[in-house]
Amino acid sequence: MKKYFSTLLVLVLIVFTFVFSSQAFAQNTNLIHGVTPTKITATLHDEYLDVAGKPVTTDDSWEFWNVGVIGGDQYAKATLTIATTTMTWDGGTGEIPTTHSSSWEGTFSGGPNGKLTVSSAGYSIEGQLVDGQNIVYKNGKSATVNNPDAFDKWTEKSDTDEITSDKTDLNQEDGDSIKLPTTENWDEQPAGGMLDTSFPKVNKVMGDVELSDPDNRPSIWQKTWRLITNTGDWRVWEPATSGQQIKPGSSLKTTAGRAIMEFADGTKFILDRESKITFNAAGGFTIETGTGYMEYRKYGKKIILETRRGKFAIIGTTVSWDVDGDHIQFQVIEGQVEADPDDGHDPIMLTAGQEVLSDEFGMTAPMNFEINSSQARWDKIEQEIINSSDTKKTAPVNYLLLAAIIIGVMVIFIGAIIPIILLLRRAKKK
311 part of a folded domain: yes
Same domain, 129 and 234: no
Which tens digits make up the pLDDT trace of 53-74?
Answer: 678 889 999 999 999 988 888 8
The reported pLDDT for the residue numbered 133 is 92
284-332 pLDDT, tens digit each: 788 888 999 998 866 556 677 778 767 887 776 899 999 988 789 999 9
Our CA angle for 351, 352, 355, nearest 5°, is 75
> Pick from 158, 185, 212: which residue ends a domain?
185
Same domain, 326 and 247: yes
Question: Is the pLDDT at 396 greater than 60, yes or no?
Answer: no
375 part of a folded domain: yes
Q: Which of 128, 160, 185 is the last residue of a domain?
A: 185
My answer on whether 147 and 286 are in the same domain is no
Are 245 and 377 members of one domain? yes
Per-residue pLDDT band for 168 (boundaries 50, 70, 90) equals: very low
Task: Clarify whether residues 155 and 284 are in a common domain.
Answer: no
pLDDT digit string (tens) for 20-53? 444 443 344 456 777 889 999 999 998 877 656 6
- Helices 399-429 and 220-229: angle between axes, nearest 10 degrees: 60
Residue 191 forms part of a structural domain? no
CATH number of residue 338's parent domain: 2.60.120.1440
Burial call 108-137: b when 16+ CB within 10 Å, e when fewer: bbbbbbbbbbbbbbebbbbbbbeebebbbb
- Say if residue 383 is in the same domain as residue 422: no
Whether 17 maps to a domain, the answer reads no
Domain that holds residue 94: 31-185
Same domain, 278 and 354: yes
Q: What's residue 343's pLDDT?
A: 66
Residue 20 lies in a domain: no
**What tens digit of pLDDT does each residue of 359-379 get?**
878 888 899 999 999 999 999
255 and 114: one domain? Answer: no
In a domain, 3, yes or no: no
The structural domain count of the chain equals 3
**Residues 273 and 380 both lie in one domain:** yes
382 pLDDT exceeds 80?
yes
Residues 223 and 361 in one domain: yes
Same domain, 180 and 238: no
- Please report whether residue 9 resides in a domain: no
Q: What angle do CA 9, 13, 18 make, to 5 degrees?
A: 150
| pLDDT, tens digit (0-9, with 9 covering 90-100), for 88-107 | 766 666 778 888 888 999 99
Whether residues 174 and 215 fall in one domain: no
- For residue 21, is it within any domain? no
